[in-house]
């Protein structure tokens, strides 16, 4: 990959680049909790966003998305119509904007991006891109990066330039992932601890529905609004509560009697999911794959029925696995309304299960099911690193 990127950069821009890569992520459990200052348990995976960068002297930012064979020149000063830019370029504008605020003399750049991460599949390709850009910019001006500054800039880019009011999980996991470990992140304190993720003879496999529903972004923001109605109600009775995750299940239960059932379910899901994250963390510590698998199924049920962020393809795939003993757990993952399910499958029987699921999915939805066996890797880094 390194040679390929170097050659492509040289061919396009005539110079040697600094290379950076940032991985995508899976989330073992804890979805739609990060923006409620709750708990998440993600891990970085062996699929990456790559960035090559070098200064130029032509006073134009020259951008090349190698996989799309798309090239454009960007003059930040005269940039008016952001909507006209392709989405990959908007992330670059967002991160450049941040960099310019830190370093007004930041030079104009040649930039190449390429990816082994499926784009838009719920594996956080945009967070990986922003992290890689942040590290690349800092490397270019030879400054030691503060990884947390980069992840907050990446999150802000998502808010401002992509219109998604996301939490911090994706950026964090892509930056701080560690080989063979998951990380328990407390989104209130923004502190994490790693936990080994070796579940004996079981491994994680992603099933990609191939679906990306258009309503994903608006529904994502809508869930936040629904929960903020619940939060305001709680705040009237319990002073000092500044986020949903600061309430316990026991404190929240009595609200059932005077609360819209939909709002109650949305909020209760968040509190229950936080609880499942803690239990899952304990399961990983003791290597209890069976209990962890059950928590995955419970998480999916909550996301689908209480939080309302699943879709028929995701529900079908999760239900399907319940018929197979070698599968201990399955759940939708990330924002929802499509993307991947995460499955915990016995290594020796995974091929049989995968094959059967592919056939059933094809029969039901007349579309192929792509599957990926993932391993857990280190977070974002600047070259030299262990390029495959």
Where on the chain is the footprint of ligand GLA (CB under 6 A)? 31-32, 34-35, 166-167, 169-170, 334-335
Least distance CB 4 / ligand GLA (angstroms): 29
Triad 93, 63, 143: Cα angle to 5°: 65
Q: What is the DSSP string of 103-119?
A: -TTPPPEEEEEEESSPT
Name which of 18 and 154 has its Cβ closer to ligand GLA. Answer: 154
Kindly state the tokens that stand for 359. 């056939």
- E-only strand ranges, the chain: 18-27, 39-40, 42-55, 61-65, 70-74, 109-115, 181-186, 191-196, 202-212, 327-332, 338-346, 370-373, 381-382
Q: Which is nearer to ligand GLA, 186 or 288 (CB)?
A: 186
Q: What angle do CA 224, 226, 228 make, to 5 degrees?
A: 70
Q: Which residue has the tokens 């016995």?
A: 346
Closest CB to ligand GLA among 110 and 170? 170
CB of 271 to ligand GLA, least distance (A): 15
Q: Which residue's CB is nearer to ligand GLA, number 17 or number 167?
A: 167
Rg (CA), the chain: 21
Residue with smaller CB distance to ligand GLA, 334 or 338: 334
Q: How far is the CB of 24 from ligand GLA (least distance, A)?
A: 11
Least distance from ligand GLA to the Cβ atom of residue 332, Å: 10
Least separation, in Å, of the C-beta of 342 and ligand GLA? 12
- Cβ-based neighbour number of residue 64 at 10 Å: 20
Which residues lie closer than 8 Å to 184 by C-beta, 6 or more apart? 39, 40, 41, 192, 193, 194, 195, 277, 281
Q: Please identify, using beta-carbon distances, which residue of 17 and 23 lies nearer to ligand GLA.
A: 23
DSSP-derived letter for residue 122 is S
CA dihedral 311, 182, 179, 379 (to 10 degrees): 70
Q: What is the distance of C-alpha 194 from the center of its chain?
A: 17
Closest separation in Å from C-beta 335 to ligand GLA: 4
245 in the Ramachandran plot: left (φ > 0), alpha (ψ -120 to 50) or beta? alpha
Candidates 31, 170, 208, 265; catalytic one? 170
Give the full edge-to-edge strand order of the sheet including 39-40.
Answer: 39-40, 181-186, 191-196
- Rounded to a whole number of angstroms, the minimum distance from the CB of residue 43 to ligand GLA is 14
> Given the complex with ligand GLA, which of 165 and 203 has the nearer CB atom?
165
- The verdict on whether 67 is a catalytic residue reads no
φ, ψ dihedrals at 80, nearest 5°:
-115, -50
Question: Please, what is the minimum distance in Å from the beta carbon of residue 327 to ligand GLA?
Answer: 22
Q: Residue 52 or residue 302: which is nearer to ligand GLA going by CB?
A: 302
Q: Is the dihedral of CA 263, 264, 265, 270 positive or negative?
A: positive
Task: Round to whole Å and give the CA distance between 37 and 27.
Answer: 16
Q: Which residues are catalytic?
A: 170
């Amino acid at each position: 990959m390194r040679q390929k990127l170097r050659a492509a950069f040289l061919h396009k821009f005539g110079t040697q680049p600094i290379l950076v890569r940032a991985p995508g992520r899976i989330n073992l459990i804890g979805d739609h909790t990060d923006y409620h200052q709750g708990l998440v348990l993600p891990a970085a995976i062996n699929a990456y966003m790559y960035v090559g960068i070098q200064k130029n002297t032509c006073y134009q930012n020259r951008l090349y998305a190698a996989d799309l064979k798309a090239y454009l020149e960007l003059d930040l000063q005269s940039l008016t119509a952001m909507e006209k830019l392709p989405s990959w370029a908007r992330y670059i504008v967002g991160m450049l904007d941040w960099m310019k605020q830190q370093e007004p003399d930041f030079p104009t750049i040649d930039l190449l991006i390429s990816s082994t991460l499926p784009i838009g599949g719920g594996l956080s390709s945009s967070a990986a891109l922003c992290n890689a850009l942040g590290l690349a910019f800092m490397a270019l001006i030879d400054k030691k990066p503060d990884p947390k500054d980069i992840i907050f800039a990446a999150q802000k880019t998502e808010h401002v330039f992509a219109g998604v009011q996301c939490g911090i999980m994706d950026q964090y996991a892509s930056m701080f992932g560690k080989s063979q470990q998951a990380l328990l992140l407390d989104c209130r304190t923004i502190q994490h601890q790693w936990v080994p993720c070796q579940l004996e003879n079981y491994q994680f496999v992603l099933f990609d529905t191939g679906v990306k529903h258009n309503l994903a972004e608006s529904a994502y923001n809508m869930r936040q609004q629904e929960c903020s109605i619940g939060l305001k109600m709680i705040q009237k009775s319990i002073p000092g509560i500044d986020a949903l995750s600061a309430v316990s299940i026991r404190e929240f239960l009595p609200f059932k009697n005077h609360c819209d059932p939909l709002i109650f379910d949305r909020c209760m899901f968040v509190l229950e999911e936080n609880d499942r994250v803690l239990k899952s963390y304990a399961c990983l510590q003791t290597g209890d794959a069976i209990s962890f698998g059950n928590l995955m199924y419970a998480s999916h049920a909550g996301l689908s029925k209480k939080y309302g962020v699943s879709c028929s393809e995701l529900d079908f795939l999760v239900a399907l696995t319940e018929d197979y003993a070698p599968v201990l757990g399955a759940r939708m993952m990330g924002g929802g309304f499509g993307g991947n399910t995460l499955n915990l499958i016995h290594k020796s029987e995974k091929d049989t299960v995968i094959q059967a699921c592919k056939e059933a999915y094809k029969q039901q939805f007349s579309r192929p099911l792509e599957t990926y066996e993932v391993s857990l890797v280190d977070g974002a880094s600047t070259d030299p690193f262990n390029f495959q």
